[in-house]
Amino acid sequence: MVMTWKANAAIATNVAVTLDSEKLNTATFTTVIPIPTDTSVILTCNGTEVFEGMASSMTQMSDARYDIEITEYAKKLYNEYCFSPAVKGLFMPNIIIHNYDSNTDTKLTIGEYIHAICDSSGSGGFNHSTITLTPVDEDGINAMTEIPGMGLPLPEVTISHQSIGTTLRKFIVDTLGLSLWYEYISATSFEVHYGTKRDTIHLNLATEFIVNNNSSEEAIKIPIIGVYIKNEDDTKHGYAGDYVTGPCIMREIEGSFSENELNAMASVMLAEHALPRLTYDVEFLPGTIRFKECDIFDGIGDQTLDDPFKMTYKTTADPWRIKSVKITDKNTIATLW
């Protein structure tokens, strides 16, 4: 299949788009036309949009071509800090979302936490940037007052000296154990999606079929029975499971945290790593461009082989999920878990 990649109106070659559930999405490519940093870029393949973001670097090569990297617009949220006009002082040390309303003695819900981080109306919100953030609950969890699937109360969240992007990720991903992704209305208006799945993919087997797959090292890792977390200055700690005799994950984390927040993170991390996890790098033909991070497959795997290191067939009842996907002009590789 002949593919024509374009960055805005410019022809793009050496294209690599990386969409990842654990970090900001990026794309790299080469063009003969300069694209200065902070320029908005829409990357297309045969006229279909694959990625949109802003140019984060441009390097001129000796052959008068330019290597360009673009990053999704959510990068802006990592340069905008949470702010509260109610907290005074140079260092603003006490910007905290408490897990209850002291006036009504009621517990806060997941939706109320996320709304507070995203809200820019000035009525108790911490987003004082020029970016409009609209929370989107994918799993109907907004009314919950516990960590989904864990039975643990929501911890207070310390957000002093934290960017909006860092705060959203540490609460949604690290504390709740959910996936986070952004969809863009414009360069300054984002939808903040959170849940366990994005879209369900029904493969078109005429064009979207697996040409190769390999199991990753995670397929044979030792089950973890304990988690120990400490903050960067070693003054606060979080624990879960048997972190003394192990095998144990030990993690040092930067930023502002309460101890019950670290304990909640440790519990979620332990649940994620308590059993060996099978992950696979699944290769598709070039031109397979519609997969996104956090999508799930309605049915994929090998139905003929019993080898434990081959992909077992899964349906939407227990689906393979896309952890990350790399789309290039040579192939598309989805990492599934």
Residue-wise pLDDT tens digits, 223-280: 788 888 887 666 788 888 887 777 888 888 877 777 888 888 888 888 877 776 778 8
Phi, psi of 45 (to 5 degrees): -125, 115
Burial class (CB in 10 A: 0-12, 13-18, 19+), 287: middle
Residue-wise pLDDT tens digits, 97-137: 888 776 677 889 999 999 999 998 766 789 999 999 999 99
Residue 221 and residue 215: Cα distance in Å, rounded?
Answer: 12
DSSP letter at 101?
E
Cβ pair 243, 227 in contact under 8 A: yes
Element at 265 (helix H, strand E): helix 259-273
- Reported as a pLDDT band with limits 50, 70 and 90, residue 305 is low
H helices then E strands: how many in the chain?
A: 3, 24
Residue 234 Rama label (left phi>0; alpha psi -120 to 50; beta) = left
Percentage of the chain lying above the pLDDT 90 cut? 53
Cβ pair 190, 182 in contact under 8 A: yes
Cβ pair 288, 207 in contact under 8 A: yes
Quick one: tokens of 87? 């907290």
Cβ pair 256, 262 in contact under 8 A: no
Cβ pair 165, 32 in contact under 8 A: no
